[in-house]
Structure 1
Amino acid sequence: MKHKTRKPFPENFFWGASTSAYQVEGANLEDGKGPSCQDVKEVPEGTSDLTVCADHYHHMKEDVALMAEMGFKSYRFSIAWTRILPKGTGEINQKGIDFYNELIDECLKYGIEPIVTMFHFDMPAALDERGSWGNPDSVEWFVNFASILFENFGDRVKYWLTINEQNVLTLSGPVIGTLHLPEGCTNVLKEIYQQNHHMLVAQAKAMVLCHQMLPEAKIGPAPNISLVYPATCKPEDVIAAQNFNAIRNWLYLDMAVYGIYNAIVWSYLEENDATPTFAPGDEEAMKNAHPDFIGFNYYNT
């Protein structure tokens, strides 16, 4: 159907902007922040590292004032895991808590709704050394991080996103340096989808925890959805598009909505000896998660 008339946006529609911590904050090792995978990876020659970026860490108040001047009603930003927990677990960095408290308060001062992404491509380097998302303990690492965020910021943050573009991490992580592969890995596909499984369980448990700790808050995943069209109407092209849509999109949407693996993807993993191992309670945890929304980025391919 082609719509001939446009419906007006509701008055409370959230016009705004979105950033990630490692892309804008700079100050990557200042005020107690520990290194993330973004800080230790090798960057191509002639490419800027992350020590400065947009220097949002030092110019946050100016940046928020500019957002208000442009009429923004929301600001989605991510919280750097290592600014809160320099080693990923253990001791909390109070200066990191203070920075995000100030950012949230500054947004609210201008009537800008703070929307927090909990994880955006910045695994703590110390946790990469402990196996990263391949370690089953990563589920509890993330849930612990989430509990700290809910406890410190949940009185003012009403909207939360769990893991940004998890499907990009899974499909391109080793290429862009955001997914850690252990030395000597012989079945890369199985390792990647085991890590993906741990992320699915981690975000499911974080959503349940959010609803327990912050009953009035809303939370959901943030996949990167890109619809794949068949090149022609030939059956083989239609099937190819269907398969890639399942791997690229439906795996994450089915998990968010139903808490189960997409059947096409599971068959693909079975055929390639790459099905993930379930820990006791994983299946129940994924089915118990009930997102309030799906906050995805949408792209046409």
Structure 2
Amino acid sequence: MVRDRRRGRHPGRGPAPVTTTHSGGGLGPPGRLLVGTTSSAVPWEGSAGLPDGWPAAGSGSDTTTPGAAALTVWDVFGALPGRIADGTAPTTGAGGVERLDADLDLLAELGVRAHRVTLSWARLAPQGQVDPGGAGSDFYRRLLDGLRDRGIAPWVALHHWDLPLSLMEQGGWLARETAHRFADYAAAAAAAFGDRVAAWTTVDEPATVTALGYGVGIDAPGLTLLGGAFSAAHHQLLAHGHAVTALRAAGAVPVGIVNAHTVVRPHNPGSTADQAVARFVDLYLNRQFADPVLRGRYPRALHRSLPEMGDETLVHDGDLAVIGQPLDFYGVSWDHPLTVAAVPENRSVPFSLETPDGLPLTTTGRPVDPQGLQQTLSDLSRRYPDAPPLIVAASGGAFAARTDGADEDRIAFLDAHLAATEAAREAGSDVRAYFHRSLLDGWEWTDGWSARYGLVAVDRETGHRVRRPAFTHLQQRLAERPLQD
């Protein structure tokens, strides 16, 4: 498929209004911004498997035993003392398996026309291979059909961090074979669900997995390989490329990837050491993952900056052609900017992360900087002028529950980041969609239940859902806009 280059320029036009439809909630032509929401398998479903008595009536299967998901790296990592902020485990997450229909009704009430969901590799293939007739497949068919029945386009992510433990025991993302296993999984998912999906993404946030999971051990699987984590980076990108090939062979389009992007700033702009560290972190977190996908090569400066990054013979002939094959869109996951200061005496990680002055913070201590999102989108369009259209695949902030029920911080975050996305579009970036993280509170990785991202509050003990004011605010914003271009 030939990429349509530099689509969606609107010189001299004001920001396009928000809408919830174009091409049925899929990747439409340049025009109004598609706005949707997200849920991810572990935070929403958890990892405890399907309930007894599954499937529910009408699922199309006569299976009566629970369709338990296999263990993932997060099950094991989350059980280690001190790894999760509040000491909780994934277990049932937000209870999405048991409350599927009610959560789908919330989406319909909200008025979005697209919702990003993640498939759980461990739920679909608990024995290593996807079973099209298994309870895991039944659950996802019911999820996708339920979205479509409510007029909501399913955007499907194949993988978001929860690598099956069985694959980790064989090397995880350090093993090249995992990339080939992922391609098999992608092909099986496309065969099972392809006619139900509006858009596909392959891997979500490989930079986060590489840096935090394999580099410094903050996330699962908890390894501290530092520069040696390059093999995890390369094999995730290779998995992406092979998955694109598999999806296209199955006729599954449009296809993209989701990379985490951040703006990296020196703590002291006048310090040459801080400037150098900021350039390196930008290379490591941003360009190490964007350049191979969008340019078909790794940035040379990265390996000059960190020669011990790993054995470059890991990159076989033809790998970069697989990784860099054309995409239909490029997804950006935006969380917060980074401010870095040089710490040359620390040889392993020669910099520190600093809290910037003048920016509000979420409950997890992350700076809120919508201008950083605008800068990221504009920088991507400038640096990669032949890139496919962009989507903001995830953007959200965690804010404390107020005893008075107020939700100003979440509403302000949503409005400011939508405005930043529109500003990037007005400046020439071809951004087609914005997905807010997230519809519901859930088990948020190392933050556990201490980080509340949802437009809908979830009681961890009972699973009870309560619409926050931000839910009503977004509902009203969407309702005020015309449904057609």
TM-score of the alignment, normalized to the shorter chain, above 0.5:
yes
Which whole-Å CA distance do the structure 2 matches of 1:114 and 1:58 have between them? 19
The letter for the 1-side match of 2:261 is I
Query: 1:260 maps to what in 2?
Result: 297
**Pick from 193, 211, 233: which aligns with 1:171?**
211
Mean Cα deviation higher: 224-233 or 152-161: 224-233
| 2:304 counterpart of 1:295 | no
Is the Cα contact below 8 Å between 2:18 and 2:35 reproduced in 1? no
Alpha-carbon deviation of 1:63?
Answer: 0.1
TM superposition shift of 1:158: 2.5
Question: Aligned in 2, Cα 1:37/1:92: closer, same or farther, shift over 3 Å?
Answer: farther
CA distance in structure 2 between the aligned counterparts of 1:244 and 1:143, rounded to whole angstroms: 30
Corresponding residue to 1:21 among 36, 41, 44: 41
Select which of 35, 40, 62 maps to 2:76.
40
Does residue 83 of structure 1 match 2:119? no
Q: Deviations over 1:23-77 (max 9, x none)?
A: 1113523413211112222244652212222100111111010011011211111
Shift of 1:97: 0.7
Q: Which letter maps to 1:239?
A: A
Query: Are positions 1:197 and 2:239 aligned together?
Result: no
Q: State the alpha-carbon separation in 2 of the partners of residues 275 and 141 from structure 1.
A: 22
Structure-1 residue corresponding to 2:143? 103
Within a 5 Å distance, the mapping from 1:97-136 to structure 2 comes to 97-136=137-176
The amino acid that maps onto 1:241 is A
Q: 1:92 to 1:9 in 2, by over 3 A?
A: closer
The corresponding residue for 1:213 is 250
Q: Which of the pair is proportionally richer in helix?
A: 1
Larger Rg: 2
- The alpha-carbon distance between structure 1 residues 7 and 29, as it changes in their structure 2 partners (threshold 3 A), is closer
Code of the aligned partner of 1:162:
T
Please give the per-residue CA displacement for 1:111-155, whole angstroms capped at 9, x wherever unaligned: 111011111111101111111111221111100110011111111
Q: Secondary structure at the match of 2:329?
A: coil
> Are the counterparts in 2 of residues 208 and 290 from structure 1 also a CA contact under 8 Å?
no
Say whether the 8 Å CA contact 2:47–2:71 is kept in structure 1. no
TM-score by length of 1: 0.88
Identity of aligned residues (%): 25
Alignment partners' CA distance in 1, 2:280 and 2:93: 38
Report the Cα distance in structure 1 between the residues aligned to 2:227 and 2:270, rounded to whole angstroms.
32
> Number of matched residues?
291
CA RMSD, aligned part only?
2.4
Name the residue aligned to 1:143. 183
Question: Deviation of residue 156 (structure 1)?
Answer: 1.6
Distance 1:180 1:219, change over 3 A: farther
Q: Is contact 1:23-1:53 (8 Å) kept?
A: yes
Structure 1: which 5+ residue stretches go unaligned? none
- Which residue in the other structure is 2:279 paired with? 242
SS in 2 for 1:15: strand
Structure 1 CA distance, aligned partners of 2:134 and 2:151? 26
> How far apart are 1:208 and its partner, in Å?
2.0
Indicate if the aligned counterparts of 1:190 and 1:275 stay in contact, CA closer than 8 A. no
Query: TM-score scaled by structure 2?
Result: 0.56
